[in-house]
Amino acid sequence: MSRLVGKVVIAQGGGPTAVINQSLVGAVVEARKFPEITRVWGAVHGVRGIIEEKFVDLSEATTHNLELVARSPSAALGSTRDKPDADYCLKIFNVFKRRDVHYFFYIGGNDSADTVKIVNEFAAKEGYQLRAIHIPKTVDNDLPVTDHCPGYGSAALFVASAFSGANVDNVALPGVYIGVVMGRHAGWLTGASCLARKHENDGPHLVYLPERQFSIDQFLADVDAAFKKHARCLVAVSEGVWGEKDAKGKKVPLAAALMRKFGREPQVDAHGNVQLSGGALADELADAVGKQLKIKRVRSDTFGYLQRSFPGVVSPTDAREAREVGEKAAQYACWHDVDGSIVIRRTGDYAVKYELAPLADIAAKTRVVPPEYINAEGNGMTDAFRAYVRPLAGELPYVERLWAPPATL
């Protein structure tokens, strides 16, 4: 055991999730056990809190408070959308040197992993001892190497529950229902809607991911066929579906194209992501179904921000794993002289173990839904995907149908 005396800085980045505080508390509670850790500081609002030196002293948070925070949604330290470049990372590193910080845990997605990697490279260059660990988190589930990402399971449970409720609503009042689900480049979360199907004729009957090019004509043909078969139709659509590429060969999300059509220029964030939120996509698809297929009752919802940290909708597996990736980060850093990203390996059905992967394998990379999880038509999920996602989301609230014979007239 190498005793590296110094402070921990821990931070949370990107979009909040239902279980990101489990990871925070896992790392903090574990780190506080080690005598060589002089203080555990939490950066307020992610990396921005580091360069502005806004820290809270988590060594003096009560364990009771931490345990309640662990069970609360969103990012308790505050988050940020800042995407640090090399200069920004150098500022982070300089704060670490000045404040005697030798442990850095950053909970976030692939851009957060990239930040950890760059800061770590500055430390290596100067021979400054830093143990830098990326703790995975994203409802998008789009990190490479790891089997899945903490935060995804709970969001998947929300999406599947929403479609389970929308399905029985749609049975009661038949028509077409379209639900637009988060997922810019990867359709993992939209795919989870398939867990709502229990009976053969349950919805969603159609699922569209950004892994496939979206054609409005094919979409209408699909809805028409499903509606003719079931006399109703539920559709799950990723917010990131795209119909065409621009002059530079970049996919143009339909949601952004529609915002422009209605006179609103979508915002672009520091990560170069064009804004997809808002109801335009759902409204437009519903409008097309109503007008072109002459279906009377067409409704649509955009699940929006509700799906990523809805209080009380938490997958127990997700909560447990989020806790453990946090704990493992502290253990790897304190017991071993290493840096990296914590990854989850699936070792059974269902069992996992935690490992450390090189930061370079995770940083700034995106894992999309592989072909074997999408049906040949590109409008539904396969059984292999259902087997993948089911243990992550956990059990859906039970929904029962009424079984009664027709009355004898």
Residues numbered 339 to 398 that lie near a copy of itself (CB under 8 A) are 396-398
Q: How far apart are CA 16 and CA 12, in angstroms?
A: 8
Residues 6+ apart with CB under 8 A from 328: 26, 342, 354, 356
State the catalytic residue, choosing from 140, 142, 202, 222: 140
Binders in 1-20 for a copy of itself, by CB under 8 A: 12, 15-16
Q: Is 168 in the site for a copy of itself (CB under 8 A)?
A: yes
Q: Which is nearer to a copy of itself, 119 or 280 (CB)?
A: 280
Write down the H helix ranges in 10-53. Answer: 20-31, 46-51
Contacts of a copy of itself in 265-284 (CB under 8 A): 267, 277-280, 282-283
Give which of 402, 400, 390 is closest to 153, Cα–Cα: 390
Please report the DSSP string for 220-252 in residue order: HHHHHHHHHHHSSEEEEEETT-EEEE-TTS-EE
What is the spatial distance between Cα 295 and Cα 381, in angstroms, rounded to a whole number? 25
Site for a copy of itself (CB under 8 A): how many residues? 84
Note whether 164 binds a copy of itself by CB under 8 A: yes
What's the min distance (Å) between Cβ of 182 and a copy of itself?
A: 11
**Which of 376/409 has CB closer to a copy of itself?**
409
Other beta carbons within 10 Å of 6: 18
Helix axes 86-98, 110-126, angle to 10 degrees: 60
Q: Which amino acid is at 352?
A: V
- Half-sphere exposure at residue 323, Cβ-oriented, CA atoms within 13 angstroms: 15
Q: Does 99 bind a copy of itself (CB under 8 A)?
A: yes
Binding residues among 285-314 for a copy of itself as defined by CB under 8 A? 286-287, 290, 296, 299-306, 308-313
Binding a copy of itself (rule: CB under 8 A), the pick from 6, 26, 78, 326 is 78
In contact, 27 and 330? CB cutoff 8 Å: yes
Least distance from C-beta 393 to a copy of itself, angstroms? 12
Site for a copy of itself in 199-218 (CB under 8 A): none
Would you call 33 helix, strand, or coil by DSSP?
Answer: coil
Measured from the CB atom, the residue of 219 and 303 that comes closer to a copy of itself is 303
Give the range of 76-84, 107-115, 181-189, 364-372 binding a copy of itself by CB under 8 A. 76-84
* Smallest separation, CB 124 to a copy of itself (Å): 26
Question: Cα–Cα distance between 169 and 174 in angstroms, integer?
Answer: 8
Q: CB of residue 311 vs a copy of itself: minimum separation in angstroms?
A: 4
Annotated catalytic residue 283: no
Length of the chain measured in residues: 409
Instruction: Kindly tell me which of 356 and 393 has the beta carbon lying closer to a copy of itself.
Output: 393
Residues 234-263 that bind a copy of itself (CB under 8 A): 262
Q: Verify binding: residue 29, a copy of itself, rule CB under 8 A.
A: no
Compute the CA torsion angle 345, 351, 354, 359 (nearest 10 deg): 30
Q: Which is nearer to a copy of itself, 98 or 125 (CB)?
A: 98
Task: Report, in Å, the least distance between residue 79 CB and a copy of itself.
Answer: 4
If the CB atoms of residues 18 and 352 are measured against a copy of itself, the closer one turns out to be 18
Q: Does 112 bind a copy of itself (CB under 8 A)?
A: no
**Is the Cβ–Cβ distance between 125 and 132 less than 8 Å?**
no
* Binding flag, residue 161, a copy of itself (CB under 8 A): yes
Question: Judged by CB under 8 A, does residue 58 bind a copy of itself?
Answer: yes
Residue type, 46: G
- Cβ nearer to a copy of itself, comparing 109 with 340: 109
Question: C-beta of 68: minimal distance to a copy of itself in Å?
Answer: 4
With binding defined as CB under 8 A, does residue 69 bind a copy of itself? yes
| Rounded Cα distance, 188 and 172, in Å | 29
Which one among 32, 71, 271, 320 touches a copy of itself, defined by CB under 8 A? 71
Question: Are 235 and 204 within 8 A, CB to CB?
Answer: yes
d(CA 340, CA 357): 5
What's the rounded Cα separation, in Å, for the pair 235 and 177?
6
| Positions marked active-site | 140
